[in-house]
Amino acid sequence: MASASRSRRKPSGDCIFASRPRPVGTHGKYKEAPDKHVNIIYDRRIVRGNTFGQLVVPTTAQADPAEIQRQQEIKRKAIAIKRAQEQCRAKTPEALQGRKHIDVQTDLYLEELSNIIVATDIESQTDAFLDRPASPLFIPAKLFDFDREVQPVLEVLVGKTIEQSLLEVMEEEELACLMAQQRAFHELRNIHLAEVQHLQEKERRHREEKERRIAQQEEVLEKERETAEKIAARAYTKQDLADLVPAAFTSLRSNGYFDDPVETDVETDFLPWLMDEVNSKLERRFTARQLLDNIIHDVAQKRLEQFKEPET
Amino acid sequence: MSRDTGAGPDPGRAPVAFGLRAVPRLFEELQQPGSGSRRRALASLCGLMLDPERLHQTVRGGFLEQLKVLLKDEDPSVRGETCKLLHLLSGHSVGREALLSSSLLPPLSQLLDDQSSSCRTNVHRVLNRLTLLPAGADALLSLVPKLMLKLKEEEEEEEVQVLLLSTLSCVSRLDALPALSSDGVSLVGHKLSHRSPNVRREAAAAMMALSVPEDGKRQVCEKAVLPVVVGLLQEEDVEIQANAAGVIMYTVIITAGKQQCLDLDVVPVLLRLLSNQRREEDEEAQRRRRRKALVVYTLRALTSLAEAPDGRRLLLEQLPLLERQSEATEEDQDIQRAAQTLVRAVTWTP
């Protein structure tokens, strides 16, 4: 249910009319012939003069009962027509069970409907602490006493100067106070910070020392363990190897890798001597046989020669 | 109270409007390009800023952005006056916060290289005041390399060096790593032997802040700064002594530091400082408060040195003196606790 706005706005902010204003013409509705554009003053529809007399009910109005009845009838008819019109006008149906109708603005831009009118207050006032300009000296016919007159001026001057200087001194004091407070804070902070760092350092050193000692200890343990292992390994290997040598010898001997000294002896000494002896004996025999062969040959030769000689 | 003095007789200042219109009107005048009128307007503004109400109005009204243009003006006196204005602004906490939240820091830091020395001095003053806020120190962390470069230049005057070192020490307390990475230890160590005691004091404070992280301690040992620091222990000024003791306290936490300090024979010096303290018991409260830092730093340094065997041997001889320190008559809780820790450390057996 939005209210249609009649006045549109130009971009510059001025309003434009839906219908431009025109001077009232006298055309139209009434039976009289339309005149030219008449001055509004001479228009018969406008009341001139005192209008109070028209509001007073004329004394003869009560006389006519038919008139009153007619008016009452008119009123009743008007009410009946209005009621009929209202009933004919389509209303929105009632809300369903559990729902409620709400009024909603469906225009492009929502309007805020409120009865409160936005108002701002602006006030202006003269400075509260203005100096009151000195009142002009009023010198009636009396003598002018300078000392008495100058006193209030002097008081103001001196008072203001002292106030200002007090302000400045307080400012400097404030700054000095701030710096002193900072300094005290920093001293305390330094003290505690130094303690904290010192303890941290001590802690770090202790921790490092502990770690170093632990590492050392571990090294020692490691070395001991290694030594024990080495000893065990050595004992075991010794035991193992103790058997090794005879076994090796036995196997070598059984494989014939070893020289039997008797055999060697026999081989190296006896047999060559034997061979030599055999050789020499055989040589002697051979020599003997050869000699014998030679003798036989010689004998045979001689016999042959002897044989041959007698023949000749 | 309104401080609307019309600056009639002073031709160096612009006329000041009445009431609340003073500051806005002066800022409007500042926007005009003439340098003479700008100077006058700035002078009047400096006068006005002494009033906290006006200062509040300036800060809240967001006029600070206009000052950015002025910081780049050609006239050096305009720049100097703007810096003075910022210096006055940073005297108040609202001013400091506004300075931080506006983007005035980059142009301000460019002015560190300005030709006029008064401009540079004022910039240093502003930066120093900014460190009163922890957020300020945070914002200045990015400026640290540039400040270290400034430290290298020798011809700066004493006040600038003091301010610079003080700013550096505040920032390094927050985070010392940027300063350390820009070779801070050697630069600050150089300043430790400056002729002016103020510079020495601030340099020792900066060195203490630099030696807090581990890297700093190592650099302090490597760069042979410790002899100078031990020399500072024997000075007159309590603050210098306290700062030097602080440097030693932090450095002896690492083993190399312990070794160097024992080589330099620092234990008798520290013990002498402690016994001085005992003797001058009846000082007023403020001086005792300042000595308190010195005493506690010394005790902590001795505690660390007691971890080394040589140090412990030396301290065992002095055990009665130390035990006297930790008596219940000592009023200050911190000193008592520190002395007890020291005694415990000296008499510790594994």
* C-beta separation of B4 from B26 below 8 A: no
Q: Which residues of A touch B (CB under 8 A)?
A: 127, 129-131, 160, 163-164, 167-168, 171, 175, 178-179, 182, 184, 186-191, 193-195, 197-198, 201-202, 205
Tell me, what's the ipTM? 0.74
Model pLDDT, residue B10 = 60
Contacts 24+ apart (CB under 8 A), B95-101: B95/B55, B95/B59, B96/B129, B96/B130, B96/B132, B96/B133, B96/B136, B97/B133, B97/B135, B98/B59, B98/B64, B99/B64, B99/B126, B99/B130, B100/B130, B100/B133, B100/B135, B100/B136, B100/B139
Whether residue A37 is predicted with pLDDT greater than 80 in this model: the reply is: no
Q: What is the pLDDT of residue A2?
A: 42
**Which is nearest to B301 in space by CA: B344, B231, B244, B349?**
B244
Is the same domain home to A213 and A291?
no
Select from A189, A221, A247 the last residue of a domain.
Answer: A247
In sequence order, the β-bridge partners of residue A16 are: A8
pLDDT for B316: 81
Mean pLDDT of B86-91: 84
Q: What is the CA radius of gyration of chain A?
A: 78
Per-residue pLDDT band for A53 (boundaries 50, 70, 90) equals low
Give me the pLDDT at residue B8, please: 42
Give the end of a domain, one of A214, A247, A280. Answer: A247
pLDDT of residue A54: 66
Among chain B residues, the shortest Cα distance to A126 is held by: B19
How many independent structural domains does chain A possess?
Answer: 2
The SS3 assignment for A15 reads strand
| Residue contact B91–A129, C-beta within 8 A | no
In the predicted model, what is the mean pLDDT of residues A206-229? 95
Q: What gap in Å lies between CA B190 and CA B223, rounded to an integer?
A: 11
CA angle A98, A102, A107 (to 5 degrees): 145
Average pLDDT over residues A90-100: 78
Tell me if A91 is assigned to some domain.
no
Say what the pLDDT of residue A162 is.
93
Name the residue among A186, A178, A161, A183 with its Cα closest to residue B91. A178
Q: For residue A35, what pLDDT is reported?
A: 57
Is A72 among the domain residues? no
Amino acid B6: pLDDT:
44
- Collect all residues of chain A within an 8 Å Cβ-Cβ radius of residue B300: 191, 194-195, 198
Count of positions (residues) in chain B: 350
B19: chain A residues, CB-CB within 8 Å? 127, 130
> Chain B partners of A186 at a C-beta cutoff of 8 Å?
173
Task: List the structure tokens of A166.
Answer: 């007090």
- Residues A217, A167 within the same domain: yes
pLDDT at A223: 96
For an interface test with A, the pick among B304, B333, B335, B342 (most A C-beta atoms closer than 10 Å) comes out as B304
Q: Which residues contact B302 (CB under 8 A, 6 or more apart)?
A: B267, B270, B271, B311, B315, B322, B342
Q: Is residue A62 scored above 60 in pLDDT? A: no
How far is residue B202's CA from residue B247's CA, in Å, rounded to a whole number?
12
Q: What is the mean pLDDT of residues A301-307?
A: 86
Please check whether residues A243 and A263 belong to one and the same domain: no
Spell out the residues 6+ positions from residue B19 whose beta carbon is closer than 8 angstroms to its own: A127, A130, B2, B4
Cα of first residue to Cα of last residue in chain B, in angstroms, is 72
**Which of A23-37, A123-137, A155-169, A282-296 has the lowest average pLDDT?**
A23-37
- Ranked by mean pLDDT, the top range of A117-131, A196-210, B329-343 is A196-210
A273 & A209 share domain:
no
Cα of A119 to nearest chain B Cα, Å: 26
B49 → chain A, closest CA residue: A168
Q: H or E element: which one contains B30?
A: helix B22-30
Q: Would you state the pLDDT for residue A140?
A: 63
- DSSP bridge partners of A8: A16
Do A240 and A267 share a structural domain?
Answer: no
- The pLDDT of A90-102, averaged and rounded, is 78
Q: List the domain range (segments joined by +) for residue A279.
A: 259-297
3-state secondary structure of B40: helix
Residues A242 and A264 in one domain: no
* 3-state secondary structure (DSSP) of residue A159: helix
Q: Provide the shortest C-alpha distance from residue A147 to chain B (in Å).
A: 24
Q: Domains in chain B, please, with CATH?
A: 10-139 (1.25.10.10), 144-210 (no CATH), 212-350 (1.25.10.10)
Give me the percent of chain B exceeding a pLDDT of 90.
0
Residues of B in contact with A175 (CB under 8 A): 91, 129, 132
Q: What is the pLDDT of residue B156?
A: 65
Count the neighbouring beta carbons within 10 Å of the beta carbon of residue B78. Answer: 21
**A126 or A175: which carries more pLDDT confidence?**
A175
Average pLDDT value for chain B? 78
CB contact at 8 A, B217 and B251: yes
Q: What is the DSSP string of B222-251?
A: HTT-HHHHHHHTTSS-HHHHHHHHHHHHHH
- Please indicate, yes or no, if residue A61 is contained in any of the structural domains: no
For residue B213 the two structure tokens come to 């992280």
pLDDT at residue A226, rounded to an integer:
96
Confidence band of B2 (pLDDT split at 50, 70, 90): very low
What does the pLDDT read at residue A157? 93
Phi and psi angles of residue A53, each rounded to the nearest 5 degrees, phi first: -65, -25
Distance between CA atoms of residues B237 and B275, nearest Å: 17
Reported as a pLDDT band with limits 50, 70 and 90, residue B281 is low
Residue A15 pairs in a beta bridge with A9
Q: How confident is the model at residue A213 (pLDDT cuts 50, 70, 90)?
A: very high
| Least confident span in A38-52, A74-88, B52-66 | A38-52
Kindly state the average pLDDT of the residues B24-51: 81
A197 and A238 fall within a common domain: yes
Q: What is the mean pLDDT of residues A176-183?
A: 86
Query: Is B294 a residue whose pLDDT tops 50?
Result: yes
Distance CA A42, CA A270 (A): 189
pLDDT of res. A227: 96
Out of B20, B91, B250, whose CB is closest to A127?
Answer: B20
Looking at the structure, do residues A235 and A279 belong to the same domain, yes or no? no
Examine the pLDDT at A284 and tell me if it is beyond 90: no
Average pLDDT for residues B308-336, to the nearest whole number? Answer: 73
A46 or A31, greater pLDDT:
A46
Mean pLDDT of the B83-99 span: 83
- pLDDT mean over B168-172: 85
CB contact under 8 A, B253 and A178: no
Q: Greater confidence, B151 or A53?
A: B151
Nearest chain A Cα distance for residue B188, angstroms: 19
In this prediction the pTM is 0.59
C-alpha distances (whole Å) from A11 to each of A16, A93, B129, B171, B239 are 11, 41, 54, 58, 74
Average pLDDT of chain A to the nearest whole number:
80
